[in-house]
């Protein structure tokens, strides 16, 4: 795991050192640079040494000097790929470096290489002979890749936006559409970022940049295969599905446990993280360290009790972290710096990774299980009946317009927070002028799904949007801020594709929303976990916003600040801020979304020099 950065088109090397220094938290163990004076290509990295600690240094070049790679991530099928490449006569110089496997695979397969990888990755490979940069991001979007193409065709990239902002040729103009999308999704969908001049490579996509003509080509090499059950169905009795899923799950956990350093486990007390702990204890046969977050003042959100049951069942070295309002208040600025962009999702993971970072370099999580196994019935909102009518009423009650509902019916019902119509009363007319409806993006994803079943369509949408842009985005930034590599074995490629080879109605039903996975792992879980309701890893935001966070809210969201900023209308204070703070109405997610944007703006943007586009 590491942070990578690079740029082309200028024969000045000092910027690369600044970029990698800014990414030091992603790789405090080692660093390196590569410079091609001939093509003005500069590649750099910071390394968190986890696998092949001695030999896996970067940047890494092939023996003939043609290819050079900088890479962030872990490839868990690297041993198998290495054997295959060696059997074809390709010589390796390292003992078991997955970096060299990618390099040799690309030398053989070119742009087809990412499709062979199982793991989490983002990399850039310079091809000296073809004068190209080939970049790719893993299928699920676990690892980030940001890039910018300047007016003169200069190409720059980095693992985090903050490193790109150090380059004087990368502009800081705010992308207005990204702001509008953030208000609907609480995160910013690819390929946009909060800055007009910076883009993110979508999950499962590759990019080719030509040094000759400065062209950029972005193409998907993988999309969620939600129709595999029709194209390549499992040839098994449905009663065997749990056993098959269990085998794929255990293989995934075993693969993703590859490490030359100790591993810890994030344990929320829910089914997914508890199953990862149980499978790891069952497979690895060694003592595990588990970490759980709790709240003393919010029993409805406190998951310590079921987590303790899991820890006792598997005799783990269990750690509990108690979170208070003051802890959050004291960390918000550091969180904003880590995130680089507005983000209004859950923040508790910050404190889990912070504690883990004091002891280990690798953390296993249960991220991805919800999206893979039905997302607790989100698909029911798209079927005719009570759930659909309820979502329509909620959409209209939140200010949604019938025009947008008719134009993007499935997008409107999926999970926008602020509706497109409601945003017209939030954003200033000048800022909102010409913006596209955010629900149109959801409608596009709905229609792009290769399978028509609502369960499949929702899974396709979530794998393309909520999973990479919200959950995996947060997991990467918060873990790497503390020099911890977070792993997500439930997003193992073999496991994902095995699940999608099963008909959607066998994966989840209205009566048993996570039936298949629960059947597969029930013996790994204590009764307290099997019977507990889904809580979500969130904060008691509504109450805390009225408590110690109140002065911060009043400072960043008062009418004067909003007027000076010129993005939100001053009336937002009377619409949202004052009613929530006074207790007149509970507008927790609305206020939290606005505050999250203001925290980012306050940390990164100077009003004297910002522009909007």
Give the mean model confidence (pLDDT) for residues 141-165. 97
| Residues 222, 496: Cα–Cα separation, whole Å | 12
Q: What is the architecture, at CATH level 2, of domain 2-220?
A: 4-Layer Sandwich (3.60)
Say if residues 189 and 179 touch (Cβ distance below 8 Å).
Answer: no
| 608: confidence class by pLDDT, cuts 50, 70, 90 | very low
Alpha carbon of residue 3 to chain centroid: 15
Whole-number pLDDT of residue 480: 98
379 vs 84, residue with greater confidence: 84
Instruction: Give the C-alpha distances (Å, rounded to integers) separating 260 from 97, 306, 352, 521, 570.
Output: 11, 31, 22, 27, 54
Specify the pLDDT at position 496: 98
Per-residue pLDDT at 386: 47
pLDDT digits (tens, 9 = 90+) for 500-531: 999 998 887 766 678 899 999 999 999 989 87
Q: Looking at the predicted structure, is the pLDDT value of residue 128 above 50? A: yes
- 250 contacts 283 by C-beta, under 8 angstroms: yes
How far is Cα 258 from Cα 237, in angstroms, rounded to an integer? 33
Q: How many CA atoms lie within 13 A of 422 on its CB side?
A: 22
pLDDT of residue 488: 98
Q: Check residue 417 and give its pLDDT.
A: 86
Question: Quick one: pLDDT band at residue 576, thresholds 50, 70, 90?
Answer: very high
Q: What is the pLDDT of residue 304?
A: 92
Please determine, for residue 24, whether its predicted confidence score (pLDDT) is greater than 50: yes
Residue 421 is predicted with a pLDDT of 86
Q: How do residues 201-252 score in pLDDT, each as one tens digit?
A: 999 999 999 999 999 999 999 999 999 999 999 999 999 999 999 999 999 9
The per-residue b/e assignment along 198-227, b for 16 or more CB within 10 angstroms, e otherwise, is bbbbbbbbbbbbebeeeeeebeebbbbbbb
Q: How would you write 169-180 as a 3-class SS string?
A: CCCCCECHHHHH
Mean of the pLDDT values across residues 484-493?
Answer: 98
Mean pLDDT of the chain: 90
- What are the E-state strand segments in 146-273? 146-149, 155-158, 199-200, 205-210, 216-220, 263-266
Judge whether residue 139 has pLDDT over 50. yes
pLDDT greater than 90 at residue 87? yes
- Give me the mean pLDDT over the 406-416 stretch: 55
Res 403: pLDDT: 60
Concatenating the DSSP letter of every residue in 334-354 gives HHHHHH-S---S--THHHHHH
Rounded to an integer, what distance in angstroms lies between the CA atom of residue 410 and that of residue 420? 14
pLDDT surpassing 60 at residue 384: no
Over residues 168-182, the mean pLDDT reads: 97
Q: How sure is the predictor about 610, in pLDDT bands with cuts at 50, 70 and 90?
A: very low
Q: What's the pTM?
A: 0.93
Residue 13 CB neighbour total at 10 angstroms: 13
Q: Is the pLDDT of residue 269 over 90?
A: no
Both structure tokens of 360: 């280990």
pLDDT value at 409 more than 60: no
The confidence band for 102, taking pLDDT boundaries of 50, 70 and 90, is very high
Please indicate whether residue 278 or residue 382 has the higher confidence score (pLDDT): 278
Helix (H/G/I), strand (E/B), else coil: 218: strand
May I ask the CATH class of domain 228-373+465-531?
A: alpha beta
Domain ranges in the chain are 2-220, 228-373+465-531, 378-460, 541-604
Taking the C-alpha atoms of residue 507 and residue 490, their distance in angstroms, rounded to an integer, is 15
């Amino acid at each position: 795991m590491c942070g990578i950065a690079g740029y082309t088109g200028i024969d000045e090397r000092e910027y690369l050192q600044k970029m990698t220094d800014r990414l030091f938290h992603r790789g405090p163990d080692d660093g390196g640079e590569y410079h091609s004076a001939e093509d003005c290509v500069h590649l750099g990295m910071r390394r968190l040494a986890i696998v092949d600690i001695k030999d896996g240094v970067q940047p890494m070049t092939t023996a003939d000097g043609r290819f050079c790679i900088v890479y962030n991530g872990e490839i868990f099928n690297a041993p198998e790929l290495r054997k295959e490449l060696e059997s074809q006569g390709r010589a390796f110089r390292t003992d078991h470096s997955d970096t060299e496997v990618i390099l040799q695979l690309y030398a053989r397969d070119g742009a087809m290489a990412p499709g062979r990888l199982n793991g989490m990755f983002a990399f850039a490979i310079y091809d000296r002979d073809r004068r190209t940069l080939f970049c790719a991001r893993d299928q699920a979007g676990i690892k980030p890749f940001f890039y910018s193409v300047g007016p003169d065709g200069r190409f720059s990239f980095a693992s985090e936006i903050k490193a790109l902002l150090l380059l004087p040729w990368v502009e800081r103009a705010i992308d207005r559409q990204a702001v509008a999308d953030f208000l609907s999704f609480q995160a910013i969908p690819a390929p946009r970022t909060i800055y007009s001049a910076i883009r993110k490579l979508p999950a499962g996509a590759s990019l080719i940049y030509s040094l000759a003509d400065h062209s950029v080509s972005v193409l998907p090499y993988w999309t969620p295969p939600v129709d595999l059950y029709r194209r390549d169905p499992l040839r098994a009795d449905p009663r065997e599905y749990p056993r098959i899923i269990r085998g794929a799950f255990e293989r995934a956990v075993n693969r993703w446990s590859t490490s030359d350093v100790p591993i810890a486990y994030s344990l929320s007390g829910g089914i997914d993280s508890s199953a990862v702990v149980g499978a790891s204890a069952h497979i690895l046969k060694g003592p595990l360290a588990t970490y759980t977050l709790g709240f003393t003042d919010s029993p409805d959100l406190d998951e310590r009790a079921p987590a303790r049951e899991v820890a006792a069942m598997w005799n783990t070295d269990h750690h509990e972290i108690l979170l208070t309002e003051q802890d959050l208040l004291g960390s918000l600025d550091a969180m904003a710096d880590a995130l680089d962009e507005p983000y209004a999702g859950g923040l508790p993971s910050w404190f889990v990774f912070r504690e883990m970072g004091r002891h280990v370099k690798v953390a296993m999580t249960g991220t991805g299980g919800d999206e893979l196994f039905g997302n607790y019935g989100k698909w029911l909102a798209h079927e005719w009946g009570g759930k659909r009518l309820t979502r329509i009423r909620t959409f209209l009650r939140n200010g949604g317009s019938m025009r947008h509902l008719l134009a993007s019916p499935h997008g409107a019902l999926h999970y926008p927070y602020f509706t497109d119509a409601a945003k017209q009363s939030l954003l200033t007319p000048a800022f909102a002028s010409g913006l596209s409806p955010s629900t149109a993006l959801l409608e596009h994803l709905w229609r792009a799904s290769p399978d028509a079943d609502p369960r499949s369509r929702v899974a396709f949408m979530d794998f393309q949007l909520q999973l990479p842009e919200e959950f995996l985005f947060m997991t990467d930034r918060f873990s790497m801020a503390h020099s911890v590599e977070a792993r997500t074995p439930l997003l193992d490629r073999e496991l994902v594709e095995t699940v999608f080879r099963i008909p959607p109605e066998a994966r989840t039903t209205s009566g048993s929303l996570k039936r298949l996975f629960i059947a597969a792992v029930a013996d790994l879980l204590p009764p307290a976990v099997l019977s507990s309701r889904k809580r979500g890893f969130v904060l008691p935001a509504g109450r805390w916003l009225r408590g110690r966070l109140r002065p911060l809210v009043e400072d960043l969201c008062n009418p004067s600040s909003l007027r000076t900023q010129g993005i939100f209308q001053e009336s937002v204070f009377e619409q949202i801020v004052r009613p929530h703070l006074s207790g007149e109405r509970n507008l927790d997610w609305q206020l939290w979304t606005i505050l999250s944007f203001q925290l980012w703006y306050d940390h990164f943007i100077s009003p004297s020099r910002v522009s909007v586009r």
